[in-house]
Structure 1
Amino acid sequence: MKKLMLVLTAAGLVQVCFADEPRATKAEAEAMVKKGVATLKSSDKEKVYSDISAKNGPFTVRDLYLVVYRMDGTVLAHGANTKMIGKNLIDLKDIDGKAFVKERVDLAAKNASFWQKYKFVNPESKKIEPKQMYCERLEDTIVCGGIYE
């Protein structure tokens, strides 16, 4: 019951946080990641991965979506591009040559939570934009949600 209350509280916080702004905020990204982590802790992981990856699902709002990686860089769930699921992206680089997935894995090995900067295609604008990703380590996974600047 305690876990259910935690999930419902996190879900409520996420809904309250989302205003009618066109872009997600840092607070919204953190709330969404916390919602994902809480749900993963209290529910069947495979079902949650499916929910995270669902188009217009409970873990996608405007330009904010979750991505879950194993600690080796393999994608377990992706809210914007299901073609990435099952792929190891450890060597993926942004337009500036930054190996951002490797950096993310390295940061997760040392930190329970962190923010990271890189450049990525915004699914709303279809343009490469500066992005900040908030991530939390959960067991042998990394749960992330980002904002476009």
Structure 2
Amino acid sequence: MRRIVLACLVFAGALLSLSPALAAGDRGSAEEAIALVKKGKDFIKANGNESAYTAFNDPKGQFVDRDLYLFVFDPAGKTLAHGANAKLLGKNLADLKDSDNKYFIREFLELASKKGKGWVDYKWPHPQTKAIEHKSTYIEKLDDGTIIGCGIYKS
């Protein structure tokens, strides 16, 4: 009987040690976010803005993967595409703050204008859990001045 209990405890411990790794599979990585942005840029070049934005906005399309999705802002902060929240389309989000009162969209715009690409850290609701989590978003400035990005959740 002790062997059975011991075996069950060992098995349960092994499952618990694997659970963070299993949960990590539900989240996109930094490399995957960058790759999705590059894929989105290529899609824009091949198909034009209108077709690309339609594809980016499709929550079941090729530009949404687990908690990864693309968004596009114009140079003033107006949302042109958003794979996780269609309610944001057409809205200027330059004055949007995260839970720490950080103007993260403004940081996207500033980073794009100064360096052309890079990462911005802030807090944002996870599209699946709705919990506020630490997020890091990779953005790139496109030739027409728009900004394409994709973020990863760190929690």
TM-score above 0.5, yes or no: yes
Instruction: Look at both structures and tell me which one has the larger radius of gyration over its CA atoms.
Output: 2
Give the counterpart of 1:147 among 143, 146, 152. 152
**Equivalent residue of 1:124, what SS?**
coil
Deviations 1:30-56 (A, max 9, x none): 000000011111212101101000111
Give the letter aligned to residue 100 of structure 2. D
Hey, what does 1:66 align to over in structure 2? 70
Deviations 1:91-137 (A, max 9, x none): 00000000000111011001121011000000111100000000110
Q: List gaps (5 residues or longer) in structure 1.
A: 1-19
Between the aligned residues of both structures, percent identity stands at 45
CA RMSD of aligned residues (A): 1.0
Task: Tell me the distance in 2 between the aligned counterparts of 1:44 and 1:67.
Answer: 15
Give the counterpart of 2:34 among 2, 21, 30. 30
Runs of 4+ off more than 3 Å:
none
Return the TM-score normalized by structure 2.
Answer: 0.82
The number of aligned residues is 130
Are 2:112 and 1:111 aligned? no
Hey, what does 2:18 align to over in structure 1? none
Q: List gaps (5 residues or longer) in structure 2.
A: 1-23
